[in-house]
Amino acid sequence: MRAVRFVEGKVAVQNVPSPSGEGVRLQVGSIGICGSEVHMLDKHFPVAVIPGHEIAGTLDDGTPVGVEPLAPCEECDQCSTGDYNMCTRGPGIVLGVGADGGMADEVIVPARSLVHLPARVDVADACLIEPLAVALHGLRRARLSGGMRVAVVGGGTIGLCAVAAAVDARAEVGLVARYPHQVEAGERLGAMQVSGSYDLVAECAGSTTAVHEAIDLCRPNGRLLLLGTYWDGLNLPHFAVAQKGLTMIAALMYARSGIGRDCDLAAALLARNPEIARCLITHRFPLAEAPKAFDVARDRKAGAIKVVLRP
């Protein structure tokens, strides 16, 4: 089969053996390119496996499914409470990091990872379940509720997923985005220009500058949700945080609350609002054109939001 590999800072499509081992085999139907993968590629991180964690595909019997791309131990204290995103196995639980991911014709995933797709969700769009689950998990931890004033800083995939989730929860949502196409997508999802102060601000851009802007938008005693990935560290203005008495919430990946998984909630949200896929997926490429797809995903100025590969 064909699979993407990172070779000396470049994207290569290679012929590799079909996957084997325990789990469920999927014919990959769509695989999103995450900003983290672009970062790891550009920084020459030693990625020894097939990348790709935003996965959807089809089972051998033809059933379309999404994927929660985690393989936790399911035995440690964190797993037992549903917080398996904090499994003691660490980052190795993530497909595309500790085991082969979905940038290939086929992938084997744990049976526990399968996500049922509602009838209105096409497998070509279901790779969005993963980033939507990231946003839903963070907003759940930040105790989002209807009627709140919510601001989102950052108009990339996670930021726009946060917009869609907060609008779905009947919050009043403002968006700060860098590029016109991100602003337009946010407006289509129900966001407005920011005005005044907010009960909850989700920082999704992953920079110190964006965090400062998010703090400025918080009302006194408000909540600051950190959904960005701070590869270069974070310089936090403690005095501004303390002066406003802010509650800071950090969130990573997704998990389970009670009997419900964030990924299942994401699939339901994708079904309720088909505009999410229309707004976020700006480019689609065949797997053979993965090098070009990564170039497009890297260039936000050119209009990319979510770039998707289709084997």
d(CA 142, CA 165): 13
Place of tokens 């744990």: 110
d(CA 99, CA 109): 9
Can you give the pLDDT at residue 181? 96
220 and 302 together in one domain? no
Residue 198 has pLDDT above 90, yes or no: yes
Can you give the pLDDT at residue 246? 97
Can you give the pLDDT at residue 46? 85
% of the chain exceeding 90 in pLDDT: 90
d(CA 157, CA 280): 7
Q: 190 lies in a domain? A: yes
Q: 137 lies in a domain? A: no
Q: 138 lies in a domain? A: no
Mean pLDDT (whole number) for 17-40: 95
d(CA 80, CA 249): 22
Final residue of a domain: which of 216, 231, 250?
250
Angstrom distances, CA of residue 23 to CA of 19, 20, 240, 293: 10, 9, 49, 29
Residue 8 has pLDDT above 90, yes or no: no
Final residue of a domain: which of 204, 222, 250?
250
Query: Which residue segment(s) compose the domain that 219 sits in?
Result: 143-250
Number of structural domains (the chain) is 2
What amino acid occupies position 229?
T
176 and 120 together in one domain? no
Q: 295 lies in a domain? A: yes
117 and 164 together in one domain? no
Beta strands in the chain (DSSP E): 2-7, 10-15, 24-32, 54-58, 64-67, 106-109, 114-116, 149-153, 172-176, 192-193, 198-203, 218-226, 247-250, 256-257, 260-261, 281-286, 306-310
222 and 239 together in one domain? yes
Can you give the pLDDT at residue 300? 84
pLDDT per residue over 63-113, tens digit each? 999 999 999 999 999 999 999 999 999 999 999 999 999 999 999 999 999
Q: 107 lies in a domain? A: yes
Band of residue 197 on the pLDDT scale cut at 50, 70, 90: very high
Can you give the pLDDT at residue 36? 92
Q: Which residues contact 106 (CB under 8 A, 6 or more apart)?
A: 1, 18, 19, 25, 26, 27, 28
209 and 292 together in one domain? no
Can you give the pLDDT at residue 45? 86
32 and 67 together in one domain? yes
Final residue of a domain: which of 198, 218, 250?
250
Can you give the pLDDT at residue 26? 97
75 and 187 together in one domain? no
d(CA 168, CA 136): 11
Across the chain, what does the average pLDDT equal? 95
DSSP element (H, E) containing 13: strand 10-15
Q: 136 lies in a domain? A: no
Can you give the pLDDT at residue 74? 93
Q: What is the CATH number of the domain that holds 46?
A: 3.90.180.10
Q: What is the CATH number of the domain that holds 204?
A: 3.40.50.720
124 and 152 together in one domain? no
211 and 265 together in one domain? no
Can you give the pLDDT at residue 129? 98
pLDDT per residue over 251-310, tens digit each? 999 999 888 999 999 999 999 999 999 999 999 999 999 999 999 999 888 899 999 999
13 and 127 together in one domain? yes
d(CA 136, CA 133): 5
Strand bridging mode 198-203 / 192-193: unpaired
Q: 164 lies in a domain? A: yes
pLDDT per residue over 109-133, tens digit each? 999 999 999 999 999 999 999 999 9
86 and 30 together in one domain? yes
> Cα-Cα-Cα-Cα dihedral of 275, 280, 283, 285, to 10°?
-90
Residue 163 has pLDDT above 90, yes or no: yes
Band of residue 49 on the pLDDT scale cut at 50, 70, 90: very high
152 and 107 together in one domain? no
Can you give the pLDDT at residue 160? 98
